[in-house]
């Protein structure tokens, strides 16, 4: 609302009711209602600092986002990503009915699905988590188009940071480094003893050997459980999540949200941390993260607003994350480059996997030969 309109709304709201002069005019009644709503918006704007920002996009579509990126005005992109960016790699998300992780945990005899990631339950019954970890362990999956799109943003100097809810480490496999990432819910990259008096650190290889040998990982210093550094319910998020949030989001000029239901706090609240003028693009199978009803009703709130007449910066592209990223890449003129990157990087991963298997087979043969010599000597 302009300053002049805001002032006029306040003056009209302070004018005494001269009842009876216009009660027969529905048009005037509608106008009066609009004025009262304008006054409320102005009041909330001044009191809570929720004034809508400048409209940056020329169109609230994927095309509008692409034109903004190509304009050169967009230099600090933050990505917020969840499990949906990894489903095409073969990793289930958490909440999809029928196919999500929580819908398929019956075999672990849990009191409720989320218990598998509850720290108190884990300390008493660690077996279900480590059984699941064997199925989902990093290194068995390849990054998706979406992961490589973020890598491309990094290579082009546009990515400030990727804030990820995922623990599959596929961002790292795709070429993002520790400085590029905030793994909000932790990672398998390192592990620690759960004892506060010990906290000894263990490597990813150490944990992998324990998990696949079906041993419950125990600390060799104190005997307590060792847990990958993923954040369970009941644990605090990493300190770096909060420090980077305060540093990165105020200067963000495009927020891209992909593959997340925006239901888990405090991660979900990050959408409200950017400036009021910062465009926000959601690439997801369904709309999510929308404003609370009360605030959305008057055109405010940190949540997403895709459909109201007050919408001015939020864009929803409803598709798979891979399709959405490829569509955006095409509009940016990057499609062929992205396709080539995915093909090249997947070939490198396949080549490394073959080499590891050959080395493992050679080691196995060498061990067998040595054992045969020992038997003959004996």
Residue 161's nearest CA partner among 186, 183, 187, 180 is 180
- Catalytic-role residue among 185, 192, 317, 346: 185
Around Cβ 75, how many Cβ atoms within 10 Å?
A: 13
CB atoms within 10 A of CB 208: 18
Structure tokens at 103: 């819908």
d(CA 147, CA 145): 5
Q: Is 278 a known ligand-binding residue?
A: no
86 marked as part of a ligand binding site: yes
Cis peptide before 266 (omega within 30 of 0): yes
Q: Is 371 annotated as a binding residue?
A: no
Q: Is 325 annotated as a binding residue?
A: no
87 annotated as a binding-site residue: yes
For 73, which DSSP code?
Answer: -
Contact call for residues 53 and 276 (beta carbons, < 8 A): yes
Does 1 show up as a binding residue in the annotation?
Answer: no
Count the Cβ atoms, other than its own, within 10 Å of residue 91.
20
Q: Is 167 annotated as a binding-site member?
A: yes
Is residue 350 part of an annotated ligand binding site? Answer: no
Question: For residues 311 and 171, what is the distance between their CA atoms, to the nearest angstrom?
Answer: 32
Half-sphere exposure of 374 (CA within 13 A, CB side): 6
- Check if the beta carbon of residue 204 is closer than 8 Å to that of residue 137: no
Q: 6 labelled as ligand-binding?
A: no
Q: Does 13 carry a binding-site annotation?
A: no
Instruction: Tell whether residue 211 is among the known ligand binding residues.
Output: no
185 catalytic? Reply is yes
End-to-end CA distance of the chain: 92
Q: Are 181 and 80 in contact (CB under 8 A)?
A: no
Q: Would you say 34 is a known binding-site residue?
A: no
Check whether 77 is labelled as a binding-site residue.
no
94 is in an annotated binding site: yes
Is 77 within 8 Å of 157 (Cβ atoms)?
A: no
For residue 95, count other CB atoms closer than 10 A to its CB.
17
64: annotated binding-site residue? no
321 is in an annotated binding site: yes
Annotated binding site for Zn(2+): 193, 198, 219, 222
Residues tagged active-site: 185
Annotated binding site: 83-87, 93-95, 165-168, 193, 198, 219, 222, 260-261, 284-286, 321
Annotated binding site for NAD(+): 83-87, 93-95, 165-168, 260-261, 284-286, 321
């Amino acid at each position: 609302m302009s300053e002049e309109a805001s002032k006029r709304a306040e003056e009209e709201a302070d004018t005494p009711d001269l009842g009876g002069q216009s009660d027969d005019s529905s048009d005037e009644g509608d106008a009066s209602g609009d004025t009262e709503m304008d006054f409320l918006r102005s009041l909330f704007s001044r009191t809570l600092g929720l004034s809508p920002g400048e409209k940056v996009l020329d169109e609230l579509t994927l095309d509008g986002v692409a034109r903004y990126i190509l304009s050169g005005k967009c230099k600090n992109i933050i990505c917020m990503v969840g499990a949906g960016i990894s489903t095409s790699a073969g990793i289930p998300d958490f909440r999809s009915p029928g196919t999500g992780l929580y819908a398929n945990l019956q075999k672990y005899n849990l009191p409720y699905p989320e218990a598998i990631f509850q720290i108190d339950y884990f300390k008493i019954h660690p077996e279900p988590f480590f059984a699941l970890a064997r199925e989902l362990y990093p290194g068995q999956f390849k990054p998706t188009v979406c992961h490589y799109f973020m890598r491309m943003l990094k290579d082009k100097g546009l990515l400030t940071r990727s804030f990820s809810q995922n623990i599959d480490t596929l961002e790292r496999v795709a070429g993002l480094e520790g400085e590029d990432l905030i793994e909000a819910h932790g990672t398998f990259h390192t592990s620690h003893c759960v004892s506060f008096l010990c906290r000894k650190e263990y490597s990813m290889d150490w944990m992998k050997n324990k998990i696949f040998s079906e041993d419950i990982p125990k600390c060799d210093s104190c005997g307590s459980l060792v847990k990958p550094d993923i954040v369970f319910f009941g644990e605090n998020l990493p300190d770096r999540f909060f420090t980077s949030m305060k540093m990165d989001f105020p200067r963000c000029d495009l927020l891209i949200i992909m593959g997340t239901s925006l239901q888990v706090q405090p991660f979900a609240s990050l959408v409200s941390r950017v400036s009021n003028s910062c465009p926000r693009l959601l690439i997801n199978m369904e709309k999510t993260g929308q404003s609370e009803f009360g605030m959305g009703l008057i055109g405010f709130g940190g949540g997403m607003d895709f459909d109201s007449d007050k919408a001015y910066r939020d864009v929803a592209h409803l598709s798979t994350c891979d399709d959405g990223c490829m569509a955006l890449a095409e509009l940016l003129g990057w499609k062929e480059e992205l396709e080539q990157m995915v093909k090249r990087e997947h070939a490198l991963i396949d080549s490394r996997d073959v080499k590891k298997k050959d080395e493992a087979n050679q080691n196995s043969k060498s061990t067998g030969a040595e054992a045969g010599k020992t038997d003959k000597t004996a």
